[in-house]
A and B are shown apart, each in its own frame.
Chain A
Amino acid sequence: MLDFKEELKKFKKSTEFDDIQDELANIDITDMNDVVFKILKELGNK
């Protein structure tokens, strides 16, 4: 049996055109290189 209410909850809104500027401003483009770089920097500081 399908739990329709649970399945419906999984669907979220799509990004609209009006929000594109906000999305671009808040987008997180951190990748593993940045993480490693950050760790190395912290280790370097120590």
Chain B
Amino acid sequence: MELSERKNIRISNAFFNLALEYAEQNNLYYSAILLKKSILFDKKNIDSRNLLGLIYYTEGEIVDALIQWVVSNNIVKNNNLATYFIDCVQNDPNYNQLKDSIKYYNAAIDDINQERNDLAMMHLNKAIELNPQYVKALTLLALLQLQIKENIKAGSNLYLAQKIDNGNFVINKLMNYALKVTNKKEIRDKKLSNLYSKKKIEEDDAIIPNKYIKISTSQKIIFSLIGVFVGFLCYHKIVLPMIRISYESNSTSQIITYADRLNDLNKEINDLTKEKNELQNNYDYVNTRLQNYEEQNKNFTFRFETLNSVISLFDQGQIAEAARLYISIENKEQITDETLVALLNAARSRIEGLGSEKLTNLGTDSWNANNKDQAISYYTLSLNLDPDNPETMFLLARLYQSLNRIEEANSLFDKVIAEHPDSNYARRSKEARGY
């Protein structure tokens, strides 16, 4: 054996010895590093390979473990622990579960790459369920839990991982972080284990069950009925009165509210009715005033026009028409309007002044023209204007006498005699009368 080869073997063995020490302290991480270095210097160091395989197996990396043992077996076929390890693994009843746990772990890696962290956590939980010692799955799950601030759960998983491999710097780093964020940095060692460990029942622990009382079917029925009765009683005596009181108080308060409202509405109606009546009165008053005004306006217009016509007709010589129009004006004494009064005075001075005399003359002219009806009309009109004119009364009486209307004639004669006894017409009336 060459010197270099012997040296490499010694180096490999040295690394193996160191790795063994770390492995005995559960520092599998550094142990694995040293074992790889050991194999690097001497590929035939089957102890290093076997131990490395064992470390992989302990951490849940079954395939990596098998690879190391298979290679070890190929290097040294006889008296090799690797053969025993391979048999153990293949005969392990959990062999399939261990295989599946790797699949779930790899599925979780794919999920994380696609940013489906929730799904990744589900797959990791499944992987851990199948292989509770799968360190990489525990660590990865803890990391995801720390990301979503489930710090206590992360701490639990990291604690389990640390129990398997206390040298893994990633696990230690995450654990320190978990302790920091849960504010329990001061808790170490035993306290830490109390924080995250779950209580295990030891063999010496005695479990004392609670006292168990067996109840028969009839007892169950009786207890049920008692329960129903008590419940009914409670409802009837306690709950129902409370409901009734609550309902009544609500009803009463509602009634009071409605009564108040009704009262307010009634008051409002009364006010509105009063207001309406006032408005109606105002309306009637104004309407009456308006009607009066219109009436007055109508009267004014009529009178204005009539008086103007009287004056106009008289001035045109149509005495009879003017006189008739003048007579048609009613309630002349009630005219108070200045304009109308002025017109009335003008009309009066014409009609009542000269009008009756002219009408009497017209009557005489008509009689002379043998137009006796016309004459009667003129004399009558003249008497309307001046009822106290003895001449007109005498002439009309004489006309009636000529027409053999004796009674009408005598009536007028008597009036002249009675009202104007000293006048010439009274003497003439007596003569005409036959006194």
Contacts and interface: CB of A to CB of B under 8 A. Distances in A.
Interface stretch (B60-68, B309-317, B340-348): B60-68
A20 B66 contact: yes
B126 interface: no
Nearest to B98: A17
Interface string B143-182: 1101100000000000000000000001000100100000
Contacts of A33: 4-5, 8, 41-43
Q: Is the interface of B mostly helix, strand, loop or mixed?
A: helix
A29 B101 CA distance: 28
Contacts of B144: 8
Interface residues of A, number: 24
Nearest to B39: A31
Contacts of B71: 24, 27, 29
Contacts of B177: 2
Given A11-B136, A13-B109, A23 B63 contact: yes
Given A16-B103, A33-B4, A33-B42, A4 B64 contact: no
A1 B132 CA distance: 29
A36 B143 CA distance: 43
Contacts of A15: 61, 63-64, 67, 102
A32 B8 contact: yes
B106 A32 contact: no
B63 A16 contact: yes
Interface in B1-59: 4-5, 8, 11, 39-44
| Smallest CB-CB A-B distances: 10 pairs | A31-B43, A15-B63, A4-B147, A13-B106, A29-B43, A32-B8, A32-B41, A36-B4, A14-B102, A17-B99
Interface of A: 2, 4, 7-8, 10-17, 19-20, 23-24, 27, 29-34, 36
